[in-house]
Amino acid sequence: LAKTTQPISMDSYEGQEVNITCSHNNIATNDYITWYQQFPSQGPRFIIQGYKTKVTNEVASLFIPADRKSSTLSLPRVSLSDTAVYYCLVGLSGNTPLVFGKGTRLSVIA
Amino acid sequence: EAQVTQNPRYLITVTGKKLTVTCSQNMNHEYMSWYRQDPGLGLRQIYYSMNVEVTDKGDVPEGYKVSRKEKRNFPLILESPSPNQTSLYFCASSFSPSSGKNTGELFFGEGSRLTVL
């Protein structure tokens, strides 16, 4: 199972871009990289998924280098409502046991 | 509305009293799983099921049982709960990759907070 390593916490001011990096050295060939956001007392919510290079949607971008041993979630112009825990997940949803790491607690400051 | 529904949302029980936490999804997902979340430990997978009558252990299966008799339901059973099973539990579901509908997104329930005294 691919294990992930993320920073425990990060702080940012409103309006800044935040980049959270996840290491996953033993990622398998058919694994995807998925990021989730979790607010207190709520279930995690899907943000973005990618396999390689760059993926962008309306809320975030995901950068994956060629060796795929790490990935970076980029949140443009964060606001107070982006304060949450962010999880990097490596695997193939629906096909394997999925291992969440301990997540990164992002605190956005006014 | 597409959703994963867990019950109960909150439960306080005593050591040794069997309990079941139900999970139901209305999205026709093949894959369902249970996680527990504890402070400082993130989300840890307890059991998962790739389809009806198919279940497998996750990272922390000890003390838990599951069953998958129907596609929509995946109950978590604690035969003899102990205080170390006090936790926040999440059920999640998704399409399987072979279904051709998999987007990689796991859909989570709202959580069940269990306290074992």
Number of neighbouring beta carbons within 10 Å of residue A68: 20
Query: How far is B84 from B116, CA to CA, in rounded Å?
Result: 8
Supply B13's token pair: 């029980």
Q: How confident is the model at residue A100 (pLDDT cuts 50, 70, 90)?
A: confident
- A13-50 pLDDT, tens digit per residue, is 999 999 999 999 888 888 889 999 999 889 999 999 99
**Mean pLDDT over each residue of chain A, to the nearest integer:** 90
A23 vs A3 pLDDT, higher one: A23
For B59, which of A34, A36, A99 is closest by C-beta distance?
A99
Check whether A101 has a pLDDT greater than 90: no
Per-residue pLDDT of chain B (117 residues; tens, 9 = 90+): 889 999 999 999 999 999 999 999 999 999 999 999 998 888 899 999 989 999 999 989 999 999 999 999 999 999 999 999 999 999 999 888 777 777 778 899 999 999 999
C-alpha dist (Å) from residue B64 to B34, B40, B45: 10, 21, 11
Query: How far is B90 from A30, CA to CA, in rounded Å?
Result: 26
> Between chains, do B44 and A100 touch, taking CB under 8 Å as contact?
yes
Q: Provide the greatest CA pair distance for chain B.
A: 45
CA distance B45 to chain A (A): 7
CA distance A89 to chain B (A): 10
- Residues of A (23-82) whose Cβ lies below 8 Å from B: 32, 34, 36, 41-46, 49
Check whether A55 has a pLDDT greater than 80: yes
Look at residue A96 in the predicted model and tell me its pLDDT.
Answer: 63
How far out from the chain centre does Cα B63 lie?
13
Look at residue B11 in the predicted model and tell me its pLDDT.
Answer: 95
Q: Please, are residues A103 and A39 in contact by the beta-carbon 8 Å criterion?
A: no
A91 vs B102 pLDDT, higher one: A91
Check whether A99 has a pLDDT greater than 80: no
> Between chains, do B48 and A97 touch, taking CB under 8 Å as contact?
yes
Q: Please, are residues A38 and A44 in contact by the beta-carbon 8 Å criterion?
A: yes
Number of neighbouring beta carbons within 10 Å of residue B63: 14
Average pLDDT score over residue span A101-109: 92
> Between chains, do A97 and B110 touch, taking CB under 8 Å as contact?
no
Q: Please, are residues B51 and B64 in contact by the beta-carbon 8 Å criterion?
A: no
Chain B hits for A101, Cβ within 8 Å: 42
What SS3 class is residue A30? coil
> Between chains, do A43 and B109 touch, taking CB under 8 Å as contact?
yes
Look at residue A59 in the predicted model and tell me its pLDDT.
Answer: 93
